[in-house]
Structure formats: C-alpha cells, structure tokens
Chains A and B, each alone.
Chain A
Amino acid sequence: MPGTLRRTRSILDFALASLLRRKGRNAALLGVYTLVVFVAASLVFFTQAVKREAHQVLADAPGLVVQRTLAGRQDLVPLAWADWVRGLRGVRSVRPRWWGYYYDGAFGANFTVQASEDAALPAGSARIGAGAARILRVKEGDLITLRGHDNLPLLLTVQGILSSDSELVASDLLLLPREDFQTLFGLPPDQATDLAVDVANPRELPTLAAKIAERYPEARPILHSEILRTYDAIFDWRGGLLVAVLMIAVLCFAIFAWDRAAGLSAEERREIGILKSIGWETSDVLLLKLLEGLAVSLTAFLSGCVLAYGHVFLFSAPLFEGALKGWSVLYPRYRLVPVVDGYQLSLLFLLAVVPYTAATLIPGWRAATVDPDAAMRS
C-alpha cells in the first residue's frame, strides 16, 4: 500500500512540475477555467442566499393574509371583515395592515411605506430604513418631507433608523404612524390594505381560507406556505435560466479544454514517449494526466469558489444583482448573510470538475498509449 501511495506522490510531484514548466499555456487555461467556476459559484451562492433571506423575512409573516379584489385587482379591505374573521373558531388574532409604496420624484427612489400601531411612535414622527436614510441624506432627529395625495407636504421627524440583519426588507422602509399613513395617501379610515390572520393550529389554515372565501367572494386569502413556494419557484427559475446559459459556457469551455488536450504540443508528445520508453506504463501516464487535470480543476474550483464567496458575500454580487434581484434601486449596499452548504458545493463540483475531466479523458488516453518504441526513433 505505501508503494502505491509513494508512486502517486512521485507522479504527482512530476505532474505539478510539468504544469509549472509550461506556465504560460496553463495559466491561460486556468484563468478561463477559474472565471467559469467563479461565475457559476457566484450565481449559485447568490440565489441560495437571497432565497434564504426571503425565507427568513417570511418566517415571521402571518399564516394567512386576506386581501380583497375588485374587478380582479387588489383593493382595500373593510375593517368589518376583520371582526367577522375574529369570530371564527381557531383564530388567534386578526390584524389589519396598512402598507404601500411611495415614489419620491426629487430623489428618484421608491420606498416601501408601512403604518405602525406602536404607541411609541407618535404622530408626526417616523422610523426609516438604513437605505432610505442614505438616499434621503438624513439622520436621527432630522425632518423629512413627503408629498401627500392632495399635494400638501407631510413633515415627519426621524425618530430612529431601522437596523436589521435582514436588510432586504428594512432597507427602503418608511414606518409611519397610522394616522399619518392615512393622511399621506388619503385613505378612508375604515379600510386597511389587508388583514393578517394568525391561528393556533396551522393545519386549519386551508379550511379557514375556504370559509373566508365563501363568506366574502371577493376575498383573496393567501397562505404563507404558498408565498414561500412561489418565492422559491421564482428564484430557482431565474437561477435555472442563468445556469442553463452557464451550462453553454461550461460546454464551450469543455470543448476548448478538449481541443487543447487533443492538440498536445509536439514537446509534450515527445515527453510522454520518453517516459514510456524509460519504463512508465500506460496507467502511469494516465495517472500523470489525471493528476495534472485534477490539479488544474481543483485549483480553478477552489479559487473560483473563494472569489465568488468574496464577490457575493463581501461585495454583494455587483455583477448580477440587477438580473437576479430586480427590486428597488436601494439594494446595492445590501449585504447577504453567507450560506454555503453541501448542496451548493456538490453542484459546483459537478458543474466544474466533471466536464473538464470528461473533456480531457479521451485525449489523455490517446497520449498515454503511444508506443514506447516510438521514442527510439525521433
């Protein structure tokens, strides 16, 4: 057994030395390879992290949200519904919610606005997200001005900046007292944006949703689990689309690698001929080629993954958040929480190492099976 190990060691040393001897050629290959892995890994890390982030945000969301539709579009919900729902069996709480979007023409930014029932937030004050504070260039204690639906300005004192590890949601948030919210948008006092319903036993949610839909035909009950599923589907679909594009890139790379491996330089051919003539066997040369390939692909795999990790989790994926996140202009500064798991790594390994090894396998075999006596006349 140690003999086998020592043989592998010696051949590995020689493989690494051979790679270094042909630095120029191999550096180009390694560069392209690392780039492919980098893009693939960034993509996989990014989708996974955003997906997890969304799950976390939705984790404390209510089990059921009741909206109302009018002519198929979302409309305000009468507060009377809330009282009826509260009376149903198994319902723990019903909370009317007020939220919407506010476009600030002066700053060219879109904000999420939400009403707060918190008594610590008196009328005339607001709490805003870190991203919003950055855009509006305000800090705690400053005044912000919003333009109401009736063109009248609404002045609010910034009572605090929201900091949260799930910046995804908090970043562009303006949290207003309910009265100010209703004034800003001119909402009738007896209506809310939607109702958040919590139940004691989540298994009863579908039954509850059915009851509500029966009583109010224009109601649209949305289950928490459905939201999660839709989210996942959207992220995966986008990720899948990009991976499909990426597979083409990997394929191109594999063809490139094949071509290079098949077109071994005359020098390399001569070397293999010499090795065989001095007593290396076909499987020794195959091992040499395999180790060379593994050295290249593992280096590319590791450096690609490390670079992608930095790109996604330290620099917030500047390369494709536009394509994948597609939300408000506020997010560029937003930082993802690192998540890397076995699924991602085995996926990347399969995407990166397997095609390269597959592409160089047959050319490697061809090179390894030259006749040893060919080296006797060159």
Chain B
Amino acid sequence: MIEVANVTKTYHAGRPNAYTAVDGVSLAIERGRLTVLKGPSGSGKTTLLSLVGCMARPSSGRIHLRGVKAAGLPAAGGALEITSLPERFLTEIRRATFGFIFQHFNLIKGVSTLENVMLPAYPLGGDPAALRRRAGELLERFGLSRHAREPIDRLSGGELQRVAIARALVNDPAVLIADEPTAHLDSHLSEAFMALMGTFKEGGRTLLIASHDPLVYDSPLVDATHELRDGRLCGKASA
C-alpha cells in the first residue's frame, strides 16, 4: 500500500548544522498489516513516520501510495507519487488516508474532549450534526462518553490516549500511524493498547507503529519489523 524508495530527509541542508535524519531508506508497507519501526532514540523513526504520513516532504527519493482516492491527482498504474505535491494536496491526502496517534497525544488544552475529537474534520466542511454523532460514537466505544463535555485537562494518561485514538479515527482513515504509543503507559495499559490495535487490524486498517518497546515489537500481532539505526535501515525486514 505504501512504497518508500530511497528516501532521504536532511534538515538544514547546505548549512553547517545540516543533519540527515533519514538516509536512503526503502521499504514497503502492506495493506491490512501491522508494521513496526524500531530503533534507538534519535534513529529517525519519527522523521520517517512524518514522511510516510504526508506531513513533510523528503529531500530526495520517492514515496508512492496505492489505493488512495484523490480527486484531480494523477495516479500512474494506481500508485500516487506524493513526494513533490504541494502542502495543500499532501494535507488532503493525509486527512483522508492517515490517522495519527502522537507520542505526546497533542490534544488541545481547555477544549472539550468531544471537540478535540471533532477538530480534524472541521476543514473538511462536512455536516456538523453527522460529525458530532460520529465523534460521540467513538467516545462511547472507548468508554469516554462521561467526559465528552469536560476539557481534556482533567483526564488521566490512559484516557488521554484513548481520546487521541478516537481523534485519529474520526475521519475513518485507512492507515493508522502511532509514534511511541506505549511510552507513557504502564504495561497493563500498553497491553490494552495492543489489543485495541489488534481489533483495528481485524477491521482492515493498515497500522504503522514506531516504538522501541519490546511489548510492542515482540507482540504476536506484528507482521513486519524494520529496524532503523542512524537514519538507515539495518538488516532484513523480519516478518
């Protein structure tokens, strides 16, 4: 579903503080599978996720998406080349295709749980009543209905993550991307998280997780693992 070909990301190119965070990475992510990126801190996992998730453009290399519906974009042989698209189009694809669960949750303080979940859909201009219903259902599913009207400031760590997951799902994306999802959770909550990922996988979603937590990359749910070191893939992908 996603093909990464020889992708490099250099920050501050051409300047003394230039730094290559991802260096010539090629990999393929299969539809409906759970793929894990592992590697030590600073190895470029987050950077690679942001490239795959259309948040940033690589300095060189190509990324192709398959099976993505995007009006007005050329899809040669069903593969959409996203590397040189303007931000506007990248965002459009990102909104429709990817749901993000961030390491620090990235919820907006002072805003209610419900609205936090609804926020990604605002720029889409959909029907507000339908959106509200959808967000309400998601909260219900994650046992958060009780907190719908409360500002997120009062929620516990585990609840915050569930709000973040609900938000990632609100636009019904094909791919879920999670960055260090278990970093702030105890082992019990981490297992619950992986169980949840299992249900998403069964639901047909493609999952991409960056983590250096064995509880994640050693989980039986994982279909493929890629290891990064200093921005390069090392070894063969294990399956």
Contacts and interface: CB of A to CB of B under 8 A. Distances in A.
Chain A directly contacts chain B within the complex, with at least one CB pair under 8 Å: yes
Interface of A: 2-7, 9-11, 14, 17, 21, 267, 271, 273-275, 277-284, 371-373, 375-378
Contact of A7 (B50, B100, B125): B125
A278 B110 CA distance: 17
B88 A7 contact: no
B46 A377 contact: yes
B103 interface: yes
Given A11-B123, A14-B119, A372-B55, A281 B91 contact: yes
B106 A274 contact: yes
A326 B11 CA distance: 67
B125 A279 contact: no
A278 B118 CA distance: 11
Nearest to A281: B91
A372 to B, nearest CB: 5
Given A274-B106, A372-B55, 18 more contacts: A2-B125, A3-B124, A3-B125, A6-B128, A10-B122, A11-B123, A14-B119, A275-B108, A275-B119, A277-B100, A279-B91, A279-B123, A281-B92, A282-B87, A283-B88, A375-B106, A376-B55, A376-B103
A5 B125 contact: yes
Contacts of A373: 46-47, 50, 55-56
A14 B55 contact: no
B139 interface: no
| Max chain B C-beta neighbours (<10 A), residue from A10, A267, A371, A378 | A10
Contacts of B127: 6
A14 to B, nearest CB: 6
B93 to A, nearest CB: 10
List the 4 closest pairs (A to B, CB-CB), nearest first: A7-B125, A3-B125, A373-B50, A279-B95
A284 B123 CA distance: 6
Contact of B123 (A17, A280, A371, A372): A280
Contacts of A278: 100, 106, 119-120, 167
Given A267-B109, A373-B50, A375-B106, A6 B125 contact: yes
Most buried by A among B108, B123, B124, B128: B123
A365 to B, nearest CB: 13
B110 to A, nearest CB: 5
Interface string B61-102: 000000000000000000000000001100110110000101
A200 B107 CA distance: 81
Contacts of B91: 279-281, 372
Contacts of B179: 376
Contacts of B128: 6, 9-10
Interface residues of B, number: 35
A312 B65 CA distance: 66
Contacts of A371: 55-56
A266 to B, nearest CB: 12
B88 A281 contact: yes
Contact of A271 (B55, B108, B126): B108
Contacts of A14: 115, 119, 122
Interface in B124-143: 124-128
Contacts of B49: 376
A279 B102 contact: no
Given A14-B119, A375-B106, A281 B125 contact: no
A198 to B, nearest CB: 69
A282 B123 CA distance: 11
A9 B55 CA distance: 26
A21 B55 contact: no
13 contacts: A2-B125, A14-B122, A17-B111, A21-B110, A274-B106, A277-B55, A277-B106, A278-B120, A279-B91, A279-B94, A279-B95, A279-B123, A372-B50
A254 to B, nearest CB: 29
A357 B1 CA distance: 45
A274 to B, nearest CB: 5
Contacts of A7: 122-125
Nearest to A10: B122
Nearest to B47: A373
B104 interface: yes
Contacts of B108: 271, 274-275
Contacts of A279: 91, 94-95, 120, 123, 171
Contacts of A2: 125
B122 A280 contact: yes
Contacts of B100: 277-278
Residue from B103, B115, B124, B125 having most chain A Cβ neighbours under 10 A? B125
Looking at A11, A283, A376, the one whose CB has the most chain B CB atoms below 10 A away is A376
Contacts of B111: 17, 21
B46 A376 contact: yes
